[in-house]
Amino acid sequence: MDVRLVALRLDAEDPAVPAAFWAALLGRAAVVEPGSVLLPGDATQVGLRFVRSAAPKVSQNPVHLHLTSTSLADQQATVARALYLGGRHVDVGQRPEETHVVLEDPGGNELCVIEPGNTYLAGTGFLGEVTCRGTRDVGLFWSAALGWPLVWDRDEETAVQSPGGGTKLSWGGEPVDPDAPPQRQRLELATTDDLAGVVDRLVALGATRVDRGTRVDGAARVDGAARVDGAATSGAAGSVTLADPDGQEFLLHRG
C-alpha cells in the first residue's frame, strides 16, 4: 500500500505568520498555495503545512513538535532564535528540573527544544519528533498504515519512524476527549494508488470514515466537499478525511 506522510497540517488564522517562523527556524523555503503555506519535508524530515482557519485556539494542542540540540550552547541558540522570530515561553505544566525548553510559535503551536544528549532522539535530525496524545492502538495503526517500524513500545507509549530514519511520530497518554475543541492539527498523507482502495485498506487497519455531511441534489457533501465511497473528499484529485482508532482526523489525497 503506497501511503506517504506529506506533512503535519496546522490551522492558523494567518498561515503566513507561523509559516515564516518555522521556515526561518528550520531553514526551509515556503511554498504559498491557495489558503495554505507548505514547508516541504524530505525523506527524513516531515513537512509542515499551515492552513487558514477562523477557529480560535482555546486549549493546549494535543500535538506538538520537538527540536533537537547538539550541545547546551546549541539549545540556547535555538531558543534565542525562536524568541527572536516571534515565539514565546509558555507553561504547560513542565517541572523545574526538566531540561527541555517549552515555547509557542506565533500561531499558538507548542514546541519543545530538547536538551543535548537525549538518546531517544539521536539521529532524527533537527525536527526530531511530532508527538501526539493517543493510545497504543494508534501507534500500531500508524506503523501498519505507513509501513514504518515501531521504534518505541513501552508503558503504553509508542513511536514510529521511517525505515530511513528522521522525524519520529509518537503517541502517549489518554486519547483526546471527544468533547474537546475542534481539531486544529492533522496528519496529511498521499498515495499514488486507487484512492478508494487505500481507504478500504486503512479502514481494515482500524481507521474510520468521517461523515459530517448531508446529501444535496443526490450527492453527499461534507463541509462543501464531495465524497468517495463514504469518506469525505474535496478537490478535483480527491482528498479523503478519515479518523485514526482514537478518533483523530487525518487527510489522504492522490499525489
Q: What fold, for 4-172?
A: 2,3-Dihydroxybiphenyl 1,2-Dioxygenase; domain 1 (3.10.180)
Q: What's the pLDDT at 98? A: 81
Q: What is the pLDDT of residue 1?
A: 78
Q: Are 125 and 142 in contact (CB under 8 A)?
A: no
Q: CATH 3.10.180.10 spans which residues of the chain?
A: 4-172
131-158 as b/e: b if 16+ CB within 10 A: bbbbbbbbbbbbbbbbebeebbeeeebb
The three-state secondary structure class of 108 is coil
Q: Cβ-count burial of 120 within 10 angstroms (0-12 exposed, 13-18 middle, 19+ buried)?
A: middle
Amino acid (one-letter) located at 116: P
Q: Which grid coordinates belong to 29? A: 523555503
**Closest-CA residue to 152 (of 1, 70, 142, 202):** 142
CA distance 24 to 7: 17
pLDDT tens, N- to C-terminus, the chain (255 residues): 799 999 999 999 999 999 999 999 999 999 999 989 999 999 899 999 999 998 888 888 899 999 999 999 999 999 999 999 999 999 887 778 789 999 999 999 999 999 999 999 999 999 999 999 999 999 999 999 999 999 999 999 999 999 999 999 999 988 878 777 788 999 999 999 999 999 999 999 999 999 754 322 233 333 333 333 444 444 435 889 999 999 999 999 988
